[in-house]
Structure 1
């Protein structure tokens, strides 16, 4: 990547809708001359008019009120400022990036590629019990994370700031291209998330259980079960693997 900058994005929304962003925050992660990736000083946020009332349930999470965004610009005006900074960032990142990609469409991002830090955390730190943005923060305690800058949780800039520290550590463990590749596939879950085998590692399951889970409705469960079957060499009896998820939803 020419500019060696990944911009971490976090969105807050008004609830369930198509164009209902009410806040966008960002934090850059850059490659330094020392060959390591670092959390940059460049961060910020914009309030956005969602074009409709914010639901009380959502307001109770991020505490952004209708009156806070009444005079804010709309998403299509704000998006280029946050998603296409001066100097460029042709890779964007978010925790569970599929959510951000619903709003950060290719025409708004300039066709940027995406890293999903949730999917990458599953690959790099499978021993951890949970993988939410905030749980990773307190389980791993990333070096240099200033506690106060990461608060309040569930606001766009603090959440992006926290995610950026996870991304920095990931980029210093694996290549940029590897993170991008993992992000194109469903999540490789380290354990069965629910059902009668909940909490078990895939290697603990017999073939019949894996075959059943390989046809589950959840894409991440299907993918994880099929990967274990492939590891065992049972590729002839499992359904065809799903194509990689598109990088831009």
Structure 2
């Protein structure tokens, strides 16, 4: 492994929206010897107006992207300098993968890996982990992390979170964790929000494991507590 390219997209919609495209790309490389590269970020013309609900997150306007590159050009730029054994990473990489496959290269999801390695964290968003892990103390310039919810700064924060994860697990282990379900600690939904998973009624756990449409982590946790794994 030569490097991990940490990427982030700002977009005009969510992956399951009928109309959605990339409007900003950012990336920061983490080398094999853990050096963090300067961050690259550039705007992308999505080819359609940016809806107000997504503009409210990243504050990128139609005027900002009017003369920017197309998504195809932007994604080709992401591949520049990537060797066959290099790895892509993102925080909640399923989002980025909905817009960009990365060819045959492997992926690390820093959010999923953090759930495995930092189960006591109060939250697993990019910014929650930033402050819980005191990531700012590692920064050469805190301004590189600002403003949040822009592609470049978010990749810098994620690269630093990734460097902390790599103190506990190697690249192969982090790749495995990316698709491995997590045993959750706290319930974050429904009438049992705030309870510990281990304290849930067994009939409710059975419903989650066998009949619900909840996610893989929730089903895995229920089965784990019930003794199924």
* Aligned mates of 2:11, 2:38 — CA distance in 1: 23
- Measure how far apart 1:87 and its partner are: 4.7
* Aligned mates of 2:29, 2:168 — CA distance in 1: 18
* Aligned mates of 1:44, 1:17 — CA distance in 2: 29
**Alignment-derived partner of residue 13 in structure 1:** 11
**Structure 1 SS opposite 2:98:** helix
- Measure how far apart 1:67 and its partner are: 1.0
Q: Does 1:141 align with 2:134?
A: yes
- Measure how far apart 1:135 and its partner are: 0.9
**Number of residue-to-residue matches in the alignment:** 221
Flag structure 2 segments of 5+ consecutive residues without an equivalent.
Answer: none
TM-score (normalised: structure 1): 0.82
* Aligned mates of 1:197, 1:119 — CA distance in 2: 23
Return 128-137 or 200-209, whichever deviates more: 200-209
Flag structure 1 segments of 5+ consecutive residues without an equivalent.
Answer: 33-37, 236-249
1:39 and 1:165 in contact (8 A); partners too: no
Question: Deviation digits for residues 228-247 of structure 1, max 9, x if unmatched?
Answer: 33xx3x45xxxxxxxxxxxx
* Aligned mates of 2:66, 2:18 — CA distance in 1: 18
1:14 and 1:20 in contact (8 A); partners too: yes
* Aligned mates of 1:188, 1:149 — CA distance in 2: 34
Q: Does 1:127 align with 2:127?
A: no
Kindly report which structure 2 residues correspond to 1:26-45, keeping only aligned pairs within 5 A, or say none: 26-32=27-33, 38-45=34-41
- Measure how far apart 1:26 and its partner are: 0.5
2:185 and 2:198 in contact (8 A); partners too: no
- Measure how far apart 1:144 and its partner are: 1.2
* Aligned mates of 1:67, 1:11 — CA distance in 2: 18
TM-score (normalised: structure 2): 0.89
- Measure how far apart 1:155 and its partner are: 0.4
- Measure how far apart 1:218 and its partner are: 1.5
**Structure 1 SS opposite 2:160:** helix
1:119 and 1:182 in contact (8 A); partners too: yes
**Alignment-derived partner of residue 104 in structure 1:** 100
* Aligned mates of 2:138, 2:97 — CA distance in 1: 28
* Aligned mates of 1:30, 1:101 — CA distance in 2: 22
RMSD over equivalenced CA pairs, Å: 1.8
Q: Does 1:226 align with 2:223?
A: yes
**Alignment-derived partner of residue 147 in structure 2:** 152
* Aligned mates of 2:59, 2:152 — CA distance in 1: 14
